[in-house]
Chain A
Amino acid sequence: MKKVLIVRYGEIALKGLNKSHFEQKLIRNIQGNIKDLGEARIYKSNGLIYVAFNGQDEEEMIERIVKVFGIVSVSPAWEIEADMDIIKETALKHAMERIEEDQVKTFKVESRRGDKGFPFQSPQISREVGAYILPRAGNLKVDVHEPDMIIHVDVREKAYIYSKKIPGFGGLPLGTNGKGVLLLSGGIDSPVAGWMMAKRGVEIEAVHYHSYPFTSERAKEKVLELTRILASYCGPIRLHLVNLLPIQKEIHEKCPEEEMTILSRRFMMKIGEKIAKNNGCNALITGESIGQVASQTIQGLTVTNEAVSLPVFRPLIALDKVDIIEIAKKIGTFEISILPYEDCCTVFLPKRPVTKPKIEKILASEEKLEVEKLIEEAIVHMEVIEISMEE
């Protein structure tokens, strides 16, 4: 008898010829997320993945594994011989545990027979196991309509007993949909945008722009912390830290005040694209949401979009702020995002930013700057850190 985690995955199963590639990737991602917790055997059988325990803390294992994208749900289960007596014993033991831990009062048994060689049919298994548990489990009662607990008996080559199902985030295994560069600020939106794309299997590289010494060291610490949280879903993330101050100073000196934000955004996109090309990424990812701030009007987005040729993914484009906040809370980035340290200094915030910039005017302003040279210098001085969930 041993404890395993049954891992279910959804969409991957539909992926036809690519299926085994996706499954391999998923197994590797699970491995990556738990490797520091010690040896654990991971195997695949009939459309499910099993993770065998080896003394690890069950809760911690589950917490780590449900964060792997592509997983629909996880169940901690007992893996036992496919033998009716052992099944009954284990199911009873499991029921007693749940009574103790979660004060369950009612139950039913549901069974599946994957191995047609097993001498009992599914309804028969359920009946026998239920009948065995009922007189032996104190006040536990049967309720076939709304039980507190459903004890599942899954008979395959081995038999599995479980009653809990912890939902995962779904999505696709990371790394099955290419790589993108996430423009990561310290705010609420961009970590959510990165998380959503990662959930669809896109690997993430991050770039953060700061204006040190016009902004504080603590703003940087905040971004490191946010990246660490993203890394708990995505595995180690490479974070590029770029100082935008020299560029902002140039813009400030040579261009109209109200264009500060939009021109800065274009530089961020351009530098992001350079980083993408140098690191084998095929897209940019931003946390922009239509109408949220002055630079995020259709006209504003058009002008920032025009700065690059790579596709720009904006998964939050049509989400309301409350919905974004809800996701941020769910994934654990919200509390850090709302810390007060600003990554973009208020010194340069225009009093009345342009909300409907015209591309011709913006290009004319850019003419006044040595764009290529400024970008080159920003990249030369950039700091690159690889960040994983620990530390």
Chain B
Amino acid sequence: MVEVYLDNSATTKPMEEVVEIMVRALRDFYGNPSSLHRKGVEVEKLVKNARKQVAKALGVKDEEIIFTSGGTESNNLAILGAVEGNKRKGNRIITSRIEHPSVLNVFQHLETKGYEVIYLDVDEVGRVDLRQLKDHICDDTLLISLMHVNNEVGTIQPIEEIGRLLQHMKMKPIFHVDAIQSFGKVKFDPNKLGIDLVSVSGHKIHGPKGIGALYIRKGLKIAPIVFGGNQETGIRSGTENIPGILGLGVAAVHAFQHLSEHIRHMRFLRDRFLHRVKKEIDHIKINGLEGEGSAPHILNISFIGAKGEVLLHSLEQDGIYVSTGSACSSKKNVHSHVLKAMGLKNEEIEGAIRFSFAYHNTAEEIDFAVDRLKKHVADLRRIMMR
């Protein structure tokens, strides 16, 4: 059976070069970079090189990159580390309602610890309200944490405007950007935007799972959340995940070198998909933005009157893999918090499907997916509308 993988926001297929370097790392580069002997020194060099590769992809200095166990840890370390390390800055911390759980749940935790937490609303396309943000920033604001690209609907947040806004402030809050969905998909420059912390993840850019990185602007104080042998300049203890780090390095180089070309290709696939769906399937709603202002690789569409999970399993039978905005359960409330925050009606949430593309997807795959989608939506509606 053909495999058309359109769930690249969930995870991506690792590149061959990534697999190769990881196998070599396991087989040959098994030394501990902290060891004094040659086996250690050899691996230390490789880690240094990988750090350079990731730094270059983000346009920052090598020593500003810390390796972590993935996006969740990067977000946790950024938020908890910044708050713990800069307590005197204030008590107010700001985020939005559509963040990933690895941010939202940290904020909820801090709320129980006595921090004043502001959750910014989003409009109907999933963008935070700049004016609301401005109203909430005060001298007491310690941290602002926002995602660059929303993982469910692909809307790009106005982080440039926010960065500019903050740069003019006397008591500038720390600015963290969760770039897990945008790294390798949307161009941005943390340096120019005045961003202090940036989270990225390996497995969203065709690298390995279990590895991520955090950019920490030089001079910013971050308290560790894991204690041990003081690896990663004491901010992230634990023997380095060498296969992961080397795999991430290779994936970052690839994503960075082909960034413009990948963006163009994914945008082409997305446009083609969207164009056909709009023309050939009725009663749909595009969640997020159709073109400008959206990431090139995420497309979220509600098929009114069709159940998302049923559609997902129907497509699965054809070898097409996608995600839903809700699970088919009558018992639990499992609707997406993002779609709810955007004000979608229940039937729109229940019929929502996320298609997410990668550089290796082809126009033929898109056409096949739309053909099958069209058929399944029609079948399902016939059954459900009765």
Hey, which chain A residues are within 8 Å of B310, CB to CB?
213-214, 345, 347
**Does A214 lie within 8 Å of B313, measured CB to CB?**
yes
Tell me the A250-294 residues at the B interface (CB within 8 Å).
252-253, 257
Looking at the assembled complex, report how far the CB atom of A383 sits from the nearest CB atom of chain B, in whole angstroms.
15
Give the complex CA separation of A342 and B330 in angstroms.
Answer: 9
- B314 interfacial contact with A, CB 8 Å: yes
Cβ of A390 to closest chain B Cβ, rounded Å = 29
Main SS of the interface on chain A? loop
User: Taking A213-B310, A252-B386 as contacts, is the C-beta distance between A349 and B330 under 8 angstroms?
Assistant: yes
> Contact check: which of A212, A215, A252, A346 meets B330 at CB < 8 Å?
A346
The reply to whether A216 and B330 form a contact with Cβ atoms under 8 Å apart is no
Select one of A212, A215, A253, A342 contacting B386, CB under 8 A. Answer: A253
Residues of B within 8 A of A217 (CB): 313, 316
| B-side contacts of A216, CB under 8 Å | 309, 313, 328
Q: How far is the CB of A255 from chain B (nearest CB, A)?
A: 11
Instruction: Please tell me if A321 contacts chain B, counting CB pairs below 8 Å.
Output: no
The verdict on B329 contacting chain A, using a C-beta distance below 8 Å, is yes
Q: Is the CB of B314 within 8 A of A340?
A: no
Q: Digit string of B136-179 for contact with A (CB within 8 Å is 1, else 0)?
A: 00000000000000000000000000000000000000000000
Closest Cβ–Cβ distance, residue B50 to chain A (whole Å): 37
Asked if A249 is at the interface of the complex by the 8 Å CB criterion, the answer is yes
Shortest Cβ distance from residue A381 to the other chain B in the assembled complex, whole angstroms: 13
Q: Is B316 a contact partner of A342 (Cβ separation < 8 A)? A: no
The CA-CA distance from A325 to B331 in the complex, in Å, is 18
Contact B386 A213 (CB under 8 A): no
Is the C-beta of B317 less than 8 angstroms from some C-beta in chain A? yes
Q: Binary interface profile of B, 361-386, with partner A (CB < 8 Å = 1, else 0)?
A: 00000000000000000000001101
> With A215-B313, A216-B313 known to touch, is A252 a contact of B383 (CB < 8 Å)?
yes
The answer on a CB contact under 8 Å between A342 and B328 is yes
| A213, A216, A252, A253 interface centre (most CB from chain B within 10 Å) | A213
Q: How far is the CB of A85 from chain B (nearest CB, A)?
A: 59
The interface residues of chain B lying within 8 Å CB-to-CB of A257 are: 386
Choice from B313, B330, B334 contacting A213 with Cβ under 8 Å:
B313
Give, as a whole number of angstroms, the nearest-CB distance from A92 to chain B.
Answer: 50
**Nearest CB in chain B: distance from A222 CB, A:** 13
A 207-225 binary contact with B (CB < 8 Å = 1; else 0): 0000011111100000000
Query: Could you say which of B331, B332, B383 contacts A249, with CB atoms under 8 Å apart?
Result: B383
Q: B313 touching A347 by the CB < 8 A rule?
A: no
Which residues, 291 to 333 on B, are CB-close (under 8 Å) to A?
307, 309-310, 313-314, 316-317, 327-332
Residue-wise, chain A 329-353 has the 8 Å CB interface mask toward B (1 for contact) of 0000000000011100111010000
Residues of A within 8 A of B386 (CB): 252-253, 257
Chain B residue nearest in CB terms to A249: B383
- Smallest CB separation, A247 vs chain B (Å): 13
**Pairwise interchain contact A346-B313, C-beta atoms closer than 8 A:** no
B309 to chain A, nearest CB (A): 7
Q: Which residue of A lies closest to B316 (CB)?
A: A213
In whole angstroms, what is the CA distance A338 to B386 when docked? 31
**Is B328 touching A215 in the complex (CB atoms < 8 A)?**
yes
Chain A contacts for B334, CB-based, 8 A: 340
Which residues 144-186 of A sit at the B interface, judged by CB distance below 8 A? Answer: none
> A166 vs B317: C-alpha distance in the bound complex, in angstroms?
49
In the bound complex, what is the Cα–Cα distance between A341 and B332 (angstroms)? Answer: 11
| Cβ–Cβ < 8 Å partners of B309 in chain A | 216
Indicate if the CB atoms of B316 and A346 lie closer than 8 Å. no
Nearest-neighbour CB distance to chain B for A344, whole angstroms, equals 10
Chain B residue with minimal CB distance to A342?
Answer: B329
Query: Whose C-beta in chain B lies nearest to the C-beta of A349?
Result: B330
Chain B contacts for A215, CB-based, 8 A: 313, 328
Q: How far apart are A256's CB and chain B's nearest CB, in angstroms? A: 11
Q: In the bound complex, how far is the Cα of B309 from the Cα of A214, in angstroms?
A: 8
Q: Give residues 128-154 of A contacting B (CB, 8 Å).
A: none
Instruction: State whether A340 touches B383 (Cβ < 8 A).
Output: no
Against A, the Cβ 8 Å flags (1 = close, 0 = not) of B324-361 are 00011111101000000000000000000000000000
Give 13 A-B pairs besides A213-B314, A345-B328 with Cβ atoms closer than 8 angstroms.
A215-B313, A215-B328, A216-B309, A216-B313, A249-B383, A253-B386, A340-B327, A342-B329, A345-B310, A346-B330, A347-B307, A347-B328, A347-B383
Ranked nearest first, the 10 interchain pairs of A and B with the lowest CB-CB distance are: A213-B313, A346-B330, A213-B314, A214-B310, A340-B329, A213-B317, A340-B332, A252-B383, A347-B384, A347-B307
**25 pairs, A vs B, C-beta closer than 8 Å:** A213-B317, A214-B310, A214-B313, A215-B313, A215-B328, A216-B309, A216-B328, A217-B313, A217-B316, A249-B383, A252-B386, A253-B383, A253-B386, A340-B327, A340-B331, A340-B332, A340-B334, A341-B329, A342-B329, A345-B310, A346-B328, A346-B329, A347-B310, A347-B328, A347-B383
Chain B contacts to A: CB under 8 angstroms: 307, 309-310, 313-314, 316-317, 327-332, 334, 383-384, 386
